[in-house]
Structure 1
Amino acid sequence: MPAEKVALVRAINESLRKALETDPKVLVMGEDVGRLGGVFRATDGLQKDFGESRVMDTPLAESGIMGTAIGLALRGYRPVVEIQFDGFVFPAYDQIVTQLAKMHARSLGQIKLPVVVRIPYGGGIGAVEHHSESPEALFAHVAGLRVVTPSTSSDAYWMLQQAVQSDDPVIFFEPKRRYWDKDEIATEAAPNLLHKARVLREGEDLTLVAYGPMVKLCQQAAVAAAEEGRNLEILDLRSVSPMDFDSIQASVEKTRRLIVVHEAPVFFGSGAEIAARITERCFFHLEAPVLRVGGYHAPYPPARLEEEYLPGLDRVLDAVDRVLAF
């Protein structure tokens, strides 16, 4: 990768290109991924360079796409499936939950399904119904799946590499509102990048935990809080399942306060699991309840109302005020 700032969507494109070059068993498949290059151009130019047998346009049938990918994986291939939008994944949910996630355990470890399911997710782009969802908790609840999401171009590039190389099925959520955010690509991947959280900002007063599209929002909140003399630590989870609870615990033991931020609804969201685990682990360190900031328990609204639905700077800073008031 060049030493320049690269958009997250281009980093994904370059990562897929690298995977296709490295391993002839890697295939890319999905709706409009070939000639069009994907609706977000994440696969732009790949079919031209690798051919229709490696980068395949599929029918508009997510269940069929997933079933085909599972069959290819059983024959030794490493399919990378693109689900065009987050809300379109549900026709494939049956295949993902009943086959993709369970085949390894069902065969007592004899069968591996190295399938990567790429899903652009989240809001912030003014899309129509079924084009903006945050279903990560639905997949994290299913044993047998790895569920990850990058927040930067560098993480997107290297995490996708490691996802393709994994023998376990990986649900790879891509924050579509961050597709055009740019940063430099690291020259090499950190060890265990796929499931290791990272501290983006050191702090002492409070820990903000986020992943995917909300990491940038938390960085903005930390800058705003610093103007009032508050020093917030930011932890980018990278992985929703498995989750790096050790890193969260280490941060909370230092700051003694925790806020979890995600776009998905707070009700039964991944933040609830974090709050419960950290309350168990850090009960004698916490000086305030763990708070969660997320979407409302309601269907995703029309585009003109999404900014009212999605967590914003004011909602995060309000939670900061409430936690620090204890």
Structure 2
Amino acid sequence: MSTINNIKAVAEGITATMKKWDNVIIYGEDVGYEGGVFRATQGIQKEFGEERCFDAPISEALFAGMAIGMAMNGVRPIVEIQFQGLGWASLQNILGHVGRMRNRTRGKYFLPMVIRMPMGGGIRSLELHSEAMEVIYAHLPGVKVVCPSTPYDTKGLICAAVESNDPVIILEPTKLYRAFKQEVPDEFYTVPIGEGYKISEGSDITVVTYGAQTVDCQKAVEMLKVENPGVGVDLIDLRSIKPWDKKMVFESVKKTGRLVVVHEAVKSFSISSEIIASVQEECFEYLKAPLARCTGYDVVIPFDSGEKYFHINPYRVLEQMKKTLGFKF
């Protein structure tokens, strides 16, 4: 076991898969010699050589297109797009080919490829460096989307993604890269894609979140305990956005009768919209309060000086939980 942060967990996950399979490679802008803008791949080129870890030109469309061809021909590529907001050029290939290949070829070809994207705010970055657009990728049939929040889950989900025979997009919250450390096994292991994790148990309200907001929600739950020690919160970290753990969420809402979904992405047409619609369909007769969400606002992500007014914080989550708990029909 090693005690590491999220950025080190990324490196260990990539390294573990490259040791396990000789056909795993990784590339992207500055990924080789420099080790990436966040140094997630530092030392990997030295260990595995330039043929398996290399720099790519500034062309995100090329990154995704190359990976498609590689994956169809026996390679398991890991593509790093430097920031989620800089990856729009890759969407043509992701939308048009990545999720469609198995269906298009009637199962003859599949795409065991991974696309990694640092995402989200909280590090005072420039425009297009703080985007949270996970809903675009989650909307695509044939593509899996994960968003880990802890070092253990980060390494395990990277290993599971590379092992998968279907394309997986890994969204890595930049805010959490060096936020805290956790004990992580040294060997290869996987965290199942599609399974959530229950951070805390309770019977009064369900809070569902993922990515960087797991930390905000945990703080909000602790604040609620101070104000009202008798309230119990089922706090769920989805870990996997698509597929998401419907069973865990539905069972929790049927128990508590209340739901708050938390994420930093804008509110309209979001992941929370999908979760709330699904819960409404499956758990309506169990509800004790309107289904609620605490999200980013429907605006362009602000520049660094204004991001504190946009992003989720524990106080916003706390207020929404109290509002939902206090609702009376």
TM-score (norm 2): 0.96
- Are residues 1:239 and 2:234 paired? no
Deviation of 1:231 (Å):
1.9
Q: Quick check: 2:159–2:189 contact (8 Å CA) kept in 1? A: no
Provide closer, same or farther for how the CA distance between residues 41 and 315 of structure 1 changes in structure 2, counting only shifts above 3 A. same
Shift of 1:190: 8.0
Deviation (angstroms), 1:186? 4.6
| CA-CA distance at 1:4 after TM superposition | 3.6
**Structure 1 counterpart of 2:227:** 228
**Runs of 4+ that moved beyond 3 A:** 186-192
- Offset at 1:117? 0.3
Check conservation: 2:81, 2:87, Cα contact below 8 A.
Answer: yes
Distance 2:305 2:322 in 1: 28
Q: Which residue of 2 aligns with 1:317?
A: 318
Q: Distance in 2 between matches of 1:5 and 1:223?
A: 24
Question: Which of 111, 114, 119 is residue 113 of structure 1 equivalent to?
Answer: 111
1:1-326 aligned at under 5 Å gives the runs: 3-180=1-178, 181-186=180-185, 193-229=192-228, 230-326=231-327
Counterpart residue type for residue 290 of structure 1: L
Contact kept in structure 2, 1:225 and 1:231, CA below 8 Å:
no
Q: Percent identity?
A: 39
Could you tell me which amino acid in structure 1 is paired with residue 89 of structure 2?
A: P
When residues 210 and 189 of structure 1 are mapped into structure 2, their CA distance, relative to the original with a 3 A threshold, is farther
Secondary structure, counterpart of 2:249 in structure 1: helix
Instruction: Give distance in 2, aligned partners of 1:55 and 1:191.
Output: 22
Structure 1 gap segments, 5+ residues each:
none
CA-CA distance at 1:134 after TM superposition: 0.4
Distance 1:191 1:174, change over 3 A: closer
**Deviations 1:260-303, CA, capped at 9 Å, x for gaps:** 00010111100001001101111111100110111111111010
Shift of 1:56: 1.3
Q: How far has the Cα of 1:250 moved from its partner?
A: 0.8
What's the offset of the Cα at 1:234?
Answer: 0.5
Deviation at 1:57, TM superposition (A): 0.4
Q: String of CA shifts for 1:134-153, please: whole Å, max 9, x gaps.
A: 01000001111000011100
- In angstroms, what is the RMSD of aligned CA positions? 1.3
Question: What is the TM-score normalised by the length of structure 1?
Answer: 0.97
Listed one character per residue, the Cα deviations across residues 164-222 of structure 1 (whole Å, up to 9, x for unaligned) are 00000001001110001211115778876221011110112111100111111111111
For residue 124 of structure 1, give the secondary structure of its aligned residue in structure 2.
coil
The one-letter amino acid of 1:185's match is: V
Structure 1: how far apart are the matches of 2:116 and 2:23?
17
The alignment of Structure 1 onto Structure 2 pairs a total of residues equal to 324
Once the two structures are overlaid, the 10-residue window that deviates more, 120-129 or 175-184, is 175-184
* Secondary structure at 2:214 match in 1: helix
Post-superposition Cα deviations, 1:236-272, rounded to whole Å, max 9, x if no partner, equal 1011111111100111111111000001011110000
- 2:160–2:190: 8 Å Cα contact kept in structure 1? no
Task: Determine the C-alpha separation between the residues in 2 that align with 1:200 and 1:188.
Answer: 24
CA contact (8 A) 1:291 1:323 kept: yes
Aligned AA (1:223):
E
Q: Is residue 153–residue 191 contact of structure 2 (8 Å, CA) maintained in 1?
A: no
Deviation at 1:5, TM superposition (A): 2.1
User: Aligned AA for 1:16?
Assistant: I
Paired with 1:190 and 1:77, the residues of 2 have a C-alpha distance of: 21
SS of residue matched to 2:285: coil
8 Å contact 1:25–1:78 — kept in the other structure?
yes
Answer whether contact 1:134 1:263 (CA < 8 A) is retained.
Answer: yes
The one-letter code matched in structure 2 to 1:266 is K
Contact 1:13 1:43 in 2 (8 A): yes
Partner SS for 1:118: strand
CA–CA distance in 1 between the matches of 2:234 and 2:213? 14
Q: Which SS does the other structure have where 2:36 is aligned?
A: coil
Q: Equivalent residue of 1:114, what SS?
A: coil
SS in 2 for 1:120: strand
Q: Are 2:17 and 2:188, in contact at CA under 8 Å, matched by a contact in 1?
A: no
- Give me the whole-angstrom Cα distance separating, in 1, the residues matched to 2:189 and 2:125: 34
- Alignment partners' CA distance in 2, 1:94 and 1:188: 36
